[in-house]
Chains A and B, each alone.
Chain A
Amino acid sequence: MSPTFASPPTWPWGVYVTPEPAETGITISEADFQKFREFFYRKTGIQFDSSKRYFVDKRLAERIEATGSGSFRGYFMLLRFQVNGEELQALTNLMTVNETYFFREEYQFQCLVDSLLPEIVARKIDRRPIRIWVMPSSSGEEPYSIAIYLLERWAGIHRWDVEIIASDIDTRILAQARQGLYSHRSVQYLPADYLQRYFKRRAEGYQICDDLRQSVEFTRVNLSERADTRSYRDFDVIFCRNLLIYFDDVSRKTATETFYDALKPGGFICLGHSESMSRSSSLYKVRKFPSAIVYQRPLEVS
C-alpha cells in the first residue's frame, strides 16, 4: 500500500496550483477528448462532461509536453500500455480536485461523537479498535479533524482504541497529508485553542503535531478499483465526502456496494451534504440523528 513518489512534494500547502501550460501548440480534438474521457472514467470513475473540456485539454497538453509524446495519439498509447502505470498516476494527480479544509461540514463530526460512537460502543462485544475510514482524504484535513474531534469531544477515547485510515487516489496529495503542512485558509474554521494545541507554527503556515501525524494511516486507494479496495474491511464508520459528486450513476452505485462490504454490519457511512447513495441506498438504512443524516448497513445478517 505504500505509494511510489520519487521526490518530496514541492507544494505542501492547501490546495495545489497547476502551472499554466507553456504554449505547446498541442491540440486535442473532440474525438480525442471523447476517447480520453471514456478511458479515464473506466479507470477512476471520474466523469468529465463537455463543460470540463478546457480543464482536461490543458492538463493533457501539459503531460503530452512533459513526456515528450508529441501528440495525443502517442500520449494515449503511453497511458494505456505503460506497465507500471506511472503516467496514469501523474495525470490522475493533475485531474483530481483536492479542495478541502479543517472542520468542513463539522456537524457530521458532532454526529460521530454524539450519536454514532455511543451506539457502536454500546453494541460492541470485543475490545478491538474502532475503525474509521476516511475515503477520500485529500491533503488530510478531514482525518486530522476527526482525530482532533475524538480527542477533544469524545470521552470514550480514554476507554477505546480508535484507528483512522485515510485514503486517496492522488499520491501527491497523500504526501502532503503525511507532511501535514497547512495554509491559513485551510485552518480558518478551527477553534484557536485547537490550533494552538495541535499545530506548530511554520514559516508559511501550520504543521500538524507529530502525535497526530502518527495517528493517521494514509494509503493510496482508487475507490473504483476492486484490487485496491478488496482488503478494506471491518470498518465501523466510513466518511466519503465530496467525491461521489464527481462520479456518474454507475460508479456511484459501485462505490456504495464497495462500502457495503467495507463496513461491519451496523456500520455507518457519512456522505457530503449534497451527495446521495443512488438507488443502492435501498441496501442501507437511513438514520436521522440530531446533527446529521447518515446511512447504516443493516445490523441483521442476511
Chain B
Amino acid sequence: MGLIKTQPTVESVTEEVRKHPRDCAGLLAQLIDPNPTVRRWAARDLADCPDISAALVERLHQEADISVREVILTTLTGLGDATSVAGLVECLRSEDAARRNEAIEAMRQLPDAVAPIIRGLLADPDPDVRIFAVNILESLCHPEVERWLIEVIDRDPHVNVCGAAVDLLGEVGSGAARESLLRLKARFANEPYIRFAADLALGRLRDA
C-alpha cells in the first residue's frame, strides 16, 4: 500500500476496444452508440472529418444527454461554417430553455460566422428570437455590434426587444447612439422602463 507507479496509459489504451475503426463513417455510427462516453468521443473526433456539420446538427437536435450535446456544440463552434450556424439558429426556436442558452453561448464565440446572418435574426418575425439575437450580441466580439443595436432601437416595434438592446447599448454604446436613444424615448413615451433604461444608457455613452 502507498504511492505506486504503474505505466499509466498503457492499460487504458489496450482496454479500449474500438468497435469501429476511427474513420468518419465509423465515428458517425458511434454518434448514436448507447454509451454516452463513446458518443462524446465521436463528437470530438468528428471535428477532423470533412462535411460533417449537417450530421452533427441533426444529432444535436436529437441528443438528450447534455454532456454529449456540450461536446457537439464545441465541435460545431470549432467548425463554425454556415451549416453549423444554421443548426444553432434552429436551436434558438426550441421550446427547451437549456438548448436555447447553449446555442446562444456557442454563437457568441462565432463572430465571423454570425455576422452575415445577424440582421436576419434581428428582423425575425418572432420577438423571442429577436431578443435571443440581442443576447448573442452581448458578448460577440464584432465591430458592428453597436450599429446593429442602434438599428434595433430605431426600428423594432416590440418593447422587450428594444429594452434588451438599450441595456446593452449602455455597455457598448458611443456618441453614435445618442440620437437613436432620444428617438426611442419619444417612441415609447408611455413605457417607464424604456425611458429609465434609455436615460441610464445616455448617461453611460462612451465619449458622450
Contacts and interface: CB of A to CB of B under 8 A. Distances in A.
B67 A232 contact: no
A150 B3 contact: yes
B9 A219 contact: yes
A301 B19 CA distance: 21
Given A226-B45, A261-B37, A283-B67, A162 B2 contact: yes
Contacts of A162: 2-4
A30 to B, nearest CB: 17
Nearest to B75: A254
B42 to A, nearest CB: 12
A160 interface: yes
Contacts of B40: 257, 260-261
A151 interface: yes
The dominant DSSP class at the B interface is helix
Interface string A245-272: 0000110011001001100000000000
Contact of B3 (A159, A164, A302): A164
Contact of B4 (A158, A212, A215, A282): A215
A302 B74 contact: no
Interface in A136-164: 147, 150-151, 157-164
A74 to B, nearest CB: 28
A215 B1 contact: no
Nearest to B4: A161
User: Chain B interface residue count: which class?
Assistant: 20 to 34
B41 A261 contact: yes
Given A158-B1, A302-B67, A217 B8 contact: yes
Interface residues of A, number: 38
Contacts of A150: 3
Given A231-B12, A254-B74, A260 B4 contact: no
Contacts of A280: 70
B84 interface: no
A232 B9 contact: yes
B36 interface: yes
Contact of A215 (B3, B41, B74): B3
A219 B4 contact: no
B71 A231 contact: no
A185 to B, nearest CB: 26
Nearest to A260: B67
B105 interface: yes
Nearest to A212: B3
B5 A250 contact: no
Among B3, B36, B41, B74, find the residue whose CB has the most chain A CB atoms closer than 10 A. B3
Contact of B71 (A147, A164, A257): A257
A253 B1 contact: no
A254 B37 CA distance: 15
Contact of A279 (B2, B8, B47, B105): B105
Given A129-B6, A233-B12, A261-B40, A302 B65 contact: yes
Nearest to B9: A231
Contacts of A29: none
A83 to B, nearest CB: 18
Contact of A283 (B37, B70, B77, B109): B70
A283 B71 CA distance: 11
Contact of A250 (B8, B67, B77): B77
A165 B6 CA distance: 9
Contacts of A159: 1
Contacts of A279: 105
17 contacts: A161-B4, A162-B2, A163-B3, A164-B3, A165-B8, A212-B3, A215-B3, A215-B5, A231-B9, A231-B13, A232-B9, A234-B12, A254-B74, A257-B67, A260-B67, A261-B37, A280-B70
- Ordered nearest first, which 3 A-B pairs have the shortest CB separation? A215-B3, A231-B9, A231-B13
Given A151-B2, A161-B3, A217-B5, 20 more contacts: A129-B4, A147-B3, A150-B3, A158-B2, A161-B2, A162-B3, A163-B3, A163-B6, A215-B3, A216-B3, A217-B8, A231-B12, A250-B77, A253-B70, A253-B74, A257-B40, A260-B40, A260-B67, A280-B70, A302-B36
